[in-house]
Amino acid sequence: MSAHPGTRDRTHGGANSLARHGAQAADSSRERLYERAAAVQSANRVRRFRSMGVDLIIGRREGYRLEDISGRAYWDCHLNGGTYSFGHRHPTLTKALLEALETLDVGNHHFVSPARVALAEALTASAPGQMKAAVFTPSGAEATDVAVKSARWATGRRSVIAIDRGYHGRSGISGAAGDDEAARYFLSDDPETYLKVPFNDLDAMERALESRDVACVLMETIPATYGFPPPDEGYLAAVAGLCRAYGAAYIADEVQTGLGRTGSLWGCSAFGVAPDMMITGKALSGGLYPVSACLLGPRYAGWLDENGWGYVSTFGGAEPGCVVGAEALKLAQAPATADNVSRLSARFADAFADMRRRHACLRQVRQTGLVIGLVFDGPDGGVRAMKHFFDHGVWAIFASFDPRTLQFKPGLLLTDAEVNEICERMDNALTDMERTES
């Protein structure tokens, strides 16, 4: 079997100088593209990925497969944090977008729009607890900002508690609520206001809530960039209880765990949490048109009654995104999707249990439905595994806040045959990893 699914092998007909010529031309244009990207975008990002042996430049994409511009193919098991949970260019979602573009454009954010109202109604009705309103934003980071501002407005308090090694985006508020070092880099850290507590430490959470007037607790249901450590039994519900006791809002960040990925429509509800506000994004866009949202319970939606322009964004709630979002939500709610997630979850659980028995480098499997963290031997185990999987045609990225761990987020609509192929490739990659590193 070739190392990559569907590889168009450039060395075929090796004696053929024309083919060699073509390959050299492709390599030099690839090099040139890297140089241009490094010059006008992020040189550091270009360097870092290449130094880790991951040199993907995405060309064609369909379903759960990506092709590099060279023709090398990969199973996408990162899906941009679940942005492509339903696959790349899902036919229903693509059709909805193309049809929308026959009559719609971004729209005007000042005015009512049928597409925006329809998505707001569908999202609020789907959410756990009692959600009164939706505020649409272009990104998950901005939806986080809206949630924190709404908590501050409702409580009259300023402090925010977030999880140490949580990630909610890189805007001003969401960034300060995330990794301190990253916020400090741009002089945007504010540790007096943004308190950090370890995940799964209920005592630390209560001490932080006691220590000052806290507006909200910002909680990723399963912290993604930290490598998907599952919440301890009862932890999230207990945090929600503490929030109630101390008058703070519980904000569930469902950007990665929402829309069916854990086996429930919204991950937090499976853990017994009805949040005061909820953030969604990524898969809501179908990977086709940016749309994210903050859903607000009655207390926190109050400002929408008195201040129509408290949050303003030209592209927040852009109409094509709302059309796609409504279709993506329907896909997530379809019983067939939940059935598939449950079947695939069991298949991956079996496959990883088997791999763990045979590959000592795979130390731990953290799984909640199709939210899967694979913990490897050594402090950079996830980084090394990423490269070996990549070489075998499977793309999944390591967890930045715990580089022992690989974030493995397979598609919700994969078939059994596709799962088998992905697992076979991963198994071979682990054999290689052990052989080359021993």
Give 326's contacts (C-beta < 8 A, 6+ positions apart).
96, 115, 118, 119, 122
Measure the CA–CA gap between 394 and 422, rounded to whole angstroms: 7
Q: Does 189 bind ligand PLP (CB under 6 A)?
A: no
- What's the gap between Cα 83 and its chain centre? 6
Tell whether residue 168 is a contact of ligand PLP (CB under 6 A): yes
256, 280, 337, 340: which one binds ligand PLP (CB under 6 A):
256
Q: What is the rounded CA–CA span in Å between residue 430 and residue 362?
A: 8
By CB under 6 A, tell whether 400 contacts ligand PLP: no
Q: Is 406 a residue that touches ligand PLP (CB under 6 A)?
A: no
- Choose, by CB under 6 A, the member of 75, 86, 136, 167 that binds ligand PLP: 167
Q: Is 141 near ligand PLP (CB under 6 A)?
A: yes
The residue number with the shortest CB distance to ligand PLP is: 140
Taking contact as CB under 6 A, which single stretch among the options 39-47, 53-61, 166-174, 404-412 is the one that binds ligand PLP?
A: 166-174
β-strands 73-76, 58-62: how paired?
A: unpaired
C-alpha dist (Å) from residue 402 to 182, 188, 293, 343: 15, 23, 28, 28
Measured from the CB atom, is 68 or 142 closer to ligand PLP?
142
Distances (CA, A) of 125 to 130, 132, 243, 264, 437: 8, 9, 23, 15, 52
Tell me, what amino acid is at 179?
D
Q: Residues 126, 139, 280, 345: which binds ligand PLP (CB under 6 A)? A: 139
Pick between residue 261 and residue 392 the one whose CB is nearest to ligand PLP: 261
- Write down the least CB distance from residue 82 to ligand PLP, Å: 8
* Residue type at position 174: S
Contact region for ligand PLP (CB under 6 A) — 51-59, 152-160, 203-211, 252-260? 252-260
Report how far residue 20's alpha carbon sits from residue 165's, in angstroms, rounded to the nearest whole number. 47
Which of 67, 145, 189, 253 binds ligand PLP (CB under 6 A)? It is 253
Question: What DSSP designation does 410 have?
Answer: -
318 binds ligand PLP (CB under 6 A): no
Minimum CB separation of residue 219 from ligand PLP in Å reads: 10
| Nearest distance, CB of residue 280 and ligand PLP, angstroms | 9
Residue 353 and residue 424: Cα distance in Å, rounded? Answer: 13
Please tell me the total number of residues recorded for the chain in this structure: 438
Q: Which residue stretch of 19-27, 134-142, 375-383, 430-438 sits at the interface with ligand PLP (rule: CB under 6 A)?
A: 134-142
Helix (H) or strand (E) holding 28: helix 17-40
Query: Exposed, middle or buried, 204 (CB in 10 Å: 0-12/13-18/19+)?
Result: middle
Binding mask 284-313 for ligand PLP (x = CB under 6 A): --------x---------------------
Q: Which residues bind ligand PLP (CB under 6 A)?
A: 81, 139-141, 167-169, 220, 224, 253, 255-256, 281, 292
